[in-house]
Structure 1
Amino acid sequence: MFVGCAALASPAFAQDTAPQPAPSAATPAAQSETANTNASEKKKITISILYAKQDRTEDELPLSMLDLPAADDGVAGAKLAIADNNTTGRFLNQAYKLDVLNGSVDDLIKGATEKIDAGDNFIIADMEPDALLKFADALKGKNALIFNVGNPDDRLREEDCRANVLHIAPTRSMLTDALAQYLVWKQWRNWLLVYGPTPEDKLLADAYRRSAKKFGGKIVQELEFKQDTGSRRADGGYEQVQQQIPTFLQNAKDHDVIIIADEKHLFADYFPFRTWVPRPIAGSAGLTAASWHPALEFWGGTQFQHRFRKLNSRLMRNIDYDAWVATRAIGEAATRKHAGDFETLRAFIKSPDFEVAAFKGVATSFRTWNGQLREPLIIGTAKLPVSVSPQVGFLHQTSVLDTLGYDKPETKCKAYTQ
C-alpha cells in the first residue's frame, strides 16, 4: 500500500483554446487587418532542446544482463517528452525538437556552444560530476540553462553548485533519506552498513550515515566489501560467491536490515539470499529508492509506461524518467507563459511559482536555494513499488518533500543567492 502522497496530478498534454471567428469581409481594411492578425497568430514558436551525453564506454558492465544500459538511455525519455510537448504545442503554435550530442566533455562543450548560437538554449546533461562542472563553467554567461539528469553528487547542488544548472536527478542524500524514512516507519532501525571500495560508494555510505542520524536509525556496524568475487560470468562462479557472502557476514552484530552502498552495482546483487542470517537487503539491491519504477501504475502511470514502451520497445529507466521531466519542464514553462524566448522561460522555471506534474501524485518544483527538483521518491523491489517517500509522519514547515535531501538552512550553495 502506498503512503505519503494523497493528491492526484497528471501533466497537461493539451490545452483547449476557443475557436477563432471567421474573417470579416465587410471592408478591404478589415480583411487586411484580419489577415495580419492571422499571420501573426500562425507564426510558430520553435523551442530546441539539446541532449548532451558524455561518452562512458569505459564503465564496467553490471552484474546482471537485465541491467545492461540501452544505447538510448535518457534520450528515449526526452523523445517521449518532445512528443508530449508537441501535443500541447499544436494548440499554441509551438513546436519542439531534440538535438543529441555524444562524446567527451570537450566535444560536448564545442558542440553545445555551436548549438546555443543556433538557438538550442536548453541543455539536458548526462555527465560525470567533474565533466558537468567543466561544461557549466564553459557555458557561463551564455544563454543556456542546463538540466542535470545524470549525476547524484550532493556537492553539485551544494559547495560546487552553478547558477546555470538545475538538477533533475535526485541526490544521494535524497535517495538515502527516502529509504531511511521507510525503514524507520517500519521500525527496522538497526542497520548493518556494507559499502564498496569506490569513491562513489564511500559518498553513498556517508549519505546513509547522515540519514540514520537525521531520522533515528542506528548503524550497528560498518563493513567494507573488498573480496574478489572471481569470474562472475564463468561456470561455477556462483559457488564462490555463495561461500564468500555468508563468511563475510558471519561475525556481524545483530541487525534488522543490511544496507548496501554500491553505486555502480558491482556486488550488491550478490547479497540477497546469501547472508549468514536471514535479513532483508536494502540500498543498492533488494529494497531500493529511485526517481522512477518501471511498474508504477498510480497517478496515470499506466498509460505513461505504455506510451514509453510503444515508442521505445523497452521499459523506462530512471535516467529516461529524469530526462522526460527535464524536457516537460521546458514545455510546461512555454505553455504557461505562451512564450518561447529564453529569458522568459528561464526566469519562470527558476521561480517559486513554477510547477510541473510528473506522475507522482503531487506537482514537482525546483528548490530556489540550489536548483534541485523536489519530488516524491519510489521505494521498491525489482518487480513492484513498495511505498513512496516522504512517509506519513515526517513533517516539514513548508513542504514535506523538503524532508528529502539538504534543506534550505543546511545548504552550502552560494551561486543561487548572488
Structure 2
Amino acid sequence: MPLESTPHTTLRTAFNSVISGCALHALPAACFTVFRRMRAASVRFDAVTLLALVPAAPLSAVPQAARSAPPSPGGFSRDLVSWNAVLSAHAQNGLAVDALELYRRMRGPDGGGVEPDAVTLVGVLSSCAYQGARGVHFDVERYVRERLPSFRTNVQLCNALINLRCGSLPRAQQLFDEMPRRSIVSWTALITGYGMHGHGDIAVSLFERMVSEGIRPDNVAMVGLLSACSHAGMYDEGRRYFSTMESAYKLRPTLEHYTCMADLLGRAGRLEEARELISSMPMPADGAVWGALLGACKIHSLRPGLVGGGLPRHHQPQLLPGLILEPGHRRRRHLAAVPCAAAKTDGGRRRWRWTKMDKAPPVIEIGG
C-alpha cells in the first residue's frame, strides 16, 4: 500500500518509521527519498523525523532540510525537542558556525520563548570548542550557572564544559574536582587537555588516579595518554603504556595508537625504532602514520630512505598515495617537504608546488 494512502492520523508516524528503518540499515539515500515524499505529501515532520535523519545525513543535508522548514502551523513545530534535534544535526555534521547561529536564534525572537536545556547546551558547547567561540562560550557558562544550579550533577554537560575549558587548565581542573561523579569521558578530556599543553607528567598522574579509582581506560583514553607522553617527550612512559595495553587493560592497539607511538618515537629521534614499529603493524599504515615518521625525518634533517636502510619495499607503494590522496590533511605537506628539504632537487620542488594545500579561510570571532 502506498505510504501516502495511510490514514492521516498515522501518516507522520508511518513516514518516521520508514525513515528510521532506512537509517538503521545504513541507507542514507533512501532516508532522504522518503523524507522528500513526506514533504511532497504536505506531512508535517517533527523532531523524531530529524533525529532519524541525523545518522544518515550526508554533510549538511539535515541542517538544510530543517532550515528550510517554516515555523507555521502547517510546517515544523519549533519546541525544545525540535530545536535540540536541529542543533544537534548541525553540530554532528561539523557545522559549528551554523549551530551557534541556531543557538542565537533560539535565544532570540525566533525561539518563541523556548529555553535551552542541558541537551541544547552540550551541543552548543561542543560547537564552541570546535570553533573557538569564546563569546558564546562565556554566555553559555553564565546561563548554566544562573539557570541550572545543579549542573555539576549532569556528567555530559560537565564533560562538555571541561573539554571547552582545557584552554584554561586550572578552570577545567576546578570543575573536574567539583563533579560528584565522573565518567571515562571526564577523565579523558582532562588528560588530553594536560597533554596538549605539554604537561605529560600531570596527564600520567591523572591516568593512574583514574585506574586506581576503578575506571578502566578505553581506546580514546589511551590515545590521549600516549599523545600526552609524545608531546612531553616521555619516551619510556609512552613505550611502557603502549606495550602493556593488551595485558593490563585488554585493549588491542589501533591505528590511532600506532600513530601516537610513531610520533613519540620520531620526536625522540628514534627513527629506526619508529620504522620497525610501522613495519610490524597488523594493519596498513595510513597518511597520519607516515606523516608522523616523515615529520620526524624533517625535524632531524634525514631523508626517509636513509632511515634504517629505507622503508619496507611492500610498504613503499602506499607511502605517496596514503598522504597525497587525503585532501586538506595537515600531514600532507610533510610528504613532499621531506624529500625536497633533503634532496633539494627541481623535481622535488615541482612536487612541493603540486601538492600544496588550499587553505580554508580562517574564521575569527570579533569581540569574543
Task: Please give the TM-score of this superposition, normalised by the length of structure 2.
Answer: 0.29
Which has a greater percent of strand?
1
Which has a greater percent of helix?
2
